Every structure is written in C-alpha cells, then in structure tokens.
C-alpha cells in the first residue's frame, strides 16, 4: 500500500482517514473496520493496483457496484452487495464531511449522548417513569429529552437486565450520525 495524504481526496486518502478514526475512536472500531474492508475489497477488485488513486469526488457508486457484481460473479449474495454499497456510501459521506471540515467526526456527539443513556439505564437519571398500559411484559415508558430539544420515549420492560441494557446501549450508539 502506498502512502496517500489524508486530504488527497483519493480512495487512499479515505483509507488513511478511516484508519485515523479507528486509532482515535477504538471503542467505535466495530463500525469502522467493516467500512475499510468493503472499500478495500470492492475498489481492489475493480481497479486492481490503482485502486487507491481513484478520486472520491468522481465516484459513481452505482456504477462501481455494478462492475463489482460483474467481476465477482456468484461469489457474494445480494445482501453482501447491499451491505458493501451501504458501507462504502457511509465511508464516502464521512470522508467528504472531513474534507470540508477537518475537525468533523462521525462520533462527535457519541460520548455525550451515550453518557445520558447510561445514566438513564443505570437509574441515576430520573425522568419520572410513566407506567404504560398493563401487559404481560410490564412495559414502562421513559420520556427522554434529546440535545436538540426534541423528546423521545423509550418503552422498556420494567425489569431490564444489565445484558439487555448493554445491548440497547450498543444499538443506540450504532444510530449516532455525528452531526452536532
């Protein structure tokens, strides 16, 4: 692999950016590694040795994925193609944001939002739970204010295990867009 400046605007620069994110946000590595893997696999298969030279601004992702389908034949199922396209699209989106603003990060607000969620789940965040209608699962609704002032309601079982709380935290963290 050749060295590409992180701000080169190439696929190689995008890989440098994703690598930097992975180093800086180790806890988010599970979100970054699949992006890097998809970019590497798809672009290498189409452009071979010159895959890192491709200008990101010129990428036509539908065309790239069509070429990838043709070159890979029956090696991958439709779900894999969809996943790769989604991951590459996300990587391009993140990188383009970064090129416009070098301080931008997709994980910019993650710690603040997850900190509030942690307080809610461990009971130190008192929002005045409202008992939902009686049902077999004994669900409780928790109103929760977001940082933009809007209000959401979490409907959770009355007895939530620490395993499910961790799973819920992981799920919600996967929804973070990084926009402030």
Written as tens digits, the pLDDT of the chain (180 aa) is: 467 899 999 999 999 999 999 888 887 888 899 999 999 999 999 998 899 999 999 999 999 999 999 999 888 888 899 999 999 999 999 999 999 988 888 886 444 344 445 544 554 443 333 333 334 347 787 777 777 777 777 788 878 788 878 788 877 777 776 555
Contact between 153 and 142 (Cβ < 8 Å): yes
- Its pTM stands at 0.60
């Amino acid at each position: 692999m050749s060295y590409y400046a992180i701000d080169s605007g190439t696929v190689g620069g995008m890989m440098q950016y994703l690598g930097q994110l992975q180093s800086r946000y180790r806890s988010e590595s599970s979100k970054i590694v699949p992006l890097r893997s998809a970019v590497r696999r798809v672009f290498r298969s189409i452009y071979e040795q010159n895959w890192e030279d491709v200008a990101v601004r010129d990428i036509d992702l539908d065309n790239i994925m069509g070429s990838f389908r043709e070159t890979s034949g029956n090696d991958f199922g439709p779900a894999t193609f969809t996943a790769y396209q989604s991951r590459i699209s996300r990587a391009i989106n993140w990188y383009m944001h970064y090129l416009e603003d070098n301080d931008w990060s997709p994980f910019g607000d993650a710690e603040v939002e997850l900190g509030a969620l942690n307080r809610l789940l461990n009971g130190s965040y008192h929002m005045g739970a409202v008992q939902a209608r009686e049902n077999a699962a004994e669900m409780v609704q928790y109103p929760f204010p977001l940082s933009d002032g809007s209000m959401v309601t979490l409907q959770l079982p009355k007895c939530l295990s620490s395993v499910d709380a961790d799973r819920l935290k992981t799920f919600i963290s996967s929804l973070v867009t990084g926009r402030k």
